């Protein structure tokens, strides 16, 4: 019998965890779009992009289903409140090498999410389907292996962590932040960030960036303050970006969990983590000009400003962008996705930006 307490060490250059798993096993291949895991699946023979989300139930965009809806069902959203949505029965869902027949799923309008995230999302592959098999997530291969039996793990490299579940069966882990905050955090692969908390006390949120973020299941816009902090999950110690979001659930997101190899044993409510050779520090966005924009009520708004960047104290979250001289808006749609790509990847060394702030037009010049 294996010990319940396992010493966790960080070892690099070793064989991967669960080396018994081969490419012949059933697996779901995913790609990453703006820190979200997206997989292609077939619904009644047609291909769609679905967000892999342990923090939600399976949902389908209402525009791709023409069948009559069945009775409504209550759903626990990211604000931890129950909401009702219509349901429909899908004849056939094909994911990797297996099929699900006569599946009852919820309907949701994903058009706003696709527009906001700059990723085409037609639905959510949720916890109700993911829990049909134990899963191993390999972020190096961009694969989720579906396990129909137990696999041994290396006690010198992996850490077994017991968890509790929320109302829909999503794992919740005990986390300590800087030894001042201790609480349960929901493991939510559909959340693109690192670690998000509703607690503000005893944490200084003045480093890295301030931003607007959107809640996928709400029209609310949250202001996020971010700080680098030491965290502890059981005996695992690491550093992470911590987001403060008022009236929001405590979440562990994709940007944090991708730094580990992960196996989830749903039946025994156990999570196995092995740290990879990635570091949280290396995942901080190296933004050319230190800001990002988003589309808020059909206006291009500064949604994020990084500290210690050339934009700090010149641009502020909430500024409306009216024009960027170097961005050829005549040949490009005035679209926040294209603008962000230009800001992050352009080789230009200067920007001339016209903004609206407090009902006044201002022109700001940047030189890198």
pLDDT tens digits along 114-152: 888 889 999 999 999 999 889 999 999 999 998 866 555
The closest of 133, 149, 162 to 18, measured between CA atoms, is: 149
Q: For the domain that residue 270 is a member of, what is the CATH number?
A: 2.40.70.10
Q: What is the pLDDT of residue 242?
A: 79
Is 15 a domain residue? Answer: no
Query: 85, 118, 146: which is the final residue of a domain?
Result: 146
List of residues 6+ apart from 1 with CB closer than 8 A = none
User: Which of 193, 235, 239 shows the shortest CA–CA distance to 213?
Assistant: 193
Residues 265 and 305 in one domain: no
Higher model confidence: residue 283 or residue 175? 175
Final residue before a domain boundary, out of 97, 120, 146: 146
Per-residue HEC secondary structure of the chain comes to CCCCCCCCCCCCCCCCCCCCCCCCCCEEECEECCCCEEEEEEECCEEEEEEECCCCCCEEEHHHCCCCCEEEEEEECCCCCEEEEEEEEEEEEEECCEEEEEEEEEEECCHHHHHHHCCCCCEEECHHHHCCCEEEEECCCCEEEEECCCCCCCCCCCEEEECEECCCCCEEEEEEECCCEEEEEEECCCCCCCEEECCCCCCCCCCCEEEEEECCCCCCEEEEEEEEEEEEECCEEEEEEEEECCCCCCEECHHHHCCEEEEEECCCCEEEEEECCCCHHHHCCCCCCCEEEEEECCEEEEEEEECCCCCECCECCCCEEEEECCCCCCCCCCCHHHHHHHHHHCCCCEEEEEEEECCEEEEEEEEC
Strand partners, 100: 93
Residue 204 domain flag: yes
Average pLDDT for residues 39-52, to the nearest whole number?
94
Task: Give the residue numbers spanning the domain of 69.
Answer: 27-146
Whether the pLDDT of residue 207 is over 50: the answer is no
Query: Is 274 among the domain residues?
Result: yes
342 and 242: one domain? no
Burial of 30 (0-12, 13-18, 19+ CB in 10 A): buried
Same domain, 193 and 105: no
Query: Do both 234 and 308 map to the same domain?
Result: no
User: CA 296, CA 115: separation in Å to the nearest integer?
Assistant: 11
Are both 298 and 343 inside the same structural domain?
yes
- Residues 299 and 315 placed together within one structural domain of the fold: yes
pTM for this one?
0.80
- For the chain, give the percent of residues with pLDDT over 70: 75
Look at residue 2 and tell me if it is in a domain. no
pLDDT digits (tens, 9 = 90+) for 74-104: 765 545 566 777 888 888 899 888 888 888 8
**Do 309 and 237 reside in the same domain of the chain?**
no
The four Cα atoms 69, 71, 77, 80 give a dihedral, to 10 degrees, of 170
Residues 177 and 118 reside in one and the same domain: no
Residue 251 lies in a domain: yes
Nearest C-alpha neighbor of 94 from the set 28, 38, 193: 28
In a domain, 19, yes or no: no
**Are the CB atoms for 99 and 92 separated by under 8 Å?**
yes
Quick one: 160 and 219 in the same domain?
yes
On whether both 219 and 257 belong to a single domain, the answer is yes
Q: Does any domain span residue 198?
A: yes
Same domain membership, residue 170 and residue 124 = no
| Backbone phi and psi for residue 188, each to the nearest 5 degrees, phi listed first | -125, 95
The number of distinct structural domains making up the chain is 3
* Mean pLDDT, residues 27-39: 93
283, 302, 324 - which closes a domain: 283
Please report, for the domain that includes residue 362, its CATH number: 2.30.42.10
Percent of the chain with pLDDT over 90: 30
Pairing of strands 181-187, 251-252: parallel
Quick one: 258 and 305 in the same domain?
no
| 357 domain-assigned | yes
């Amino acid at each position: 019998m294996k010990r319940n307490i396992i010493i966790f060490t960080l070892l690099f250059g070793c064989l991967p965890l669960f080396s018994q798993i081969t490419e012949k096993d059933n697996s779901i291949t995913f790609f990453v779009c703006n820190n979200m895991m997206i997989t292609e699946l077939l619904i009644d023979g047609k291909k769609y992009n679905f967000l892999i989300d342990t923090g939600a139930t399976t949902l389908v965009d209402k525009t791709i289903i023409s069948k009559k809806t069945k009775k409504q069902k209550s759903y626990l959203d990211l604000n931890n409140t129950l909401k009702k949505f219509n349901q429909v029965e899908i004849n056939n869902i094909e994911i990797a090498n297996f099929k699900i027949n006569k599946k009852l799923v919820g309907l949701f309008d994903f058009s706003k999410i696709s527009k906001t995230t700059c990723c085409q999302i037609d639905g959510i592959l949720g916890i109700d389907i993911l829990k049909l098999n134990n899963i191993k997530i390999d972020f190096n291969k961009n694969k989720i292996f579906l396990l129909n039996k137990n696999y041994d793990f290396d006690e010198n490299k992996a850490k077994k962590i017991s968890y509790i579940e929320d109302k829909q069966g999503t794992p919740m882990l005990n986390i300590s932040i800087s030894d001042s905050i201790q609480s349960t955090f929901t493991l939510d692969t559909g959340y693109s960030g690192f670690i998000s908390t509703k607690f503000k006390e005893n944490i200084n949120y003045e480093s890295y960036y301030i931003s607007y973020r959107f809640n996928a299941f709400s029209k609310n816009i949250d202001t996020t303050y971010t700080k680098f902090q030491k965290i502890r999950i059981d005996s695992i110690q690491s550093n992470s970006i911590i987001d403060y979001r008022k009236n929001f659930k405590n979440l562990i997101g994709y940007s944090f969990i991708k730094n580990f190899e992960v196996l989830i044993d749903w039946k025994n409510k156990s999570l196995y983590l092995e740290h990879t050779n990635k570091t949280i520090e290396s995942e901080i966005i190296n933004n050319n000009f230190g800001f990002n924009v988003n589309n808020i009520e059909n206006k291009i708004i500064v949604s994020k400003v990084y500290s210690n960047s050339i934009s700090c104290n010149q641009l502020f979250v909430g500024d409306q962008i009216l024009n960027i001289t170097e961005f050829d808006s005549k040949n490009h749609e005035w679209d926040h996705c294209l603008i962000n790509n230009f800001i992050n990847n352009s080789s230009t060394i200067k920007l001339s930006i016209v903004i609206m702030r407090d009902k006044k037009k201002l022109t700001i010049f940047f030189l890198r």
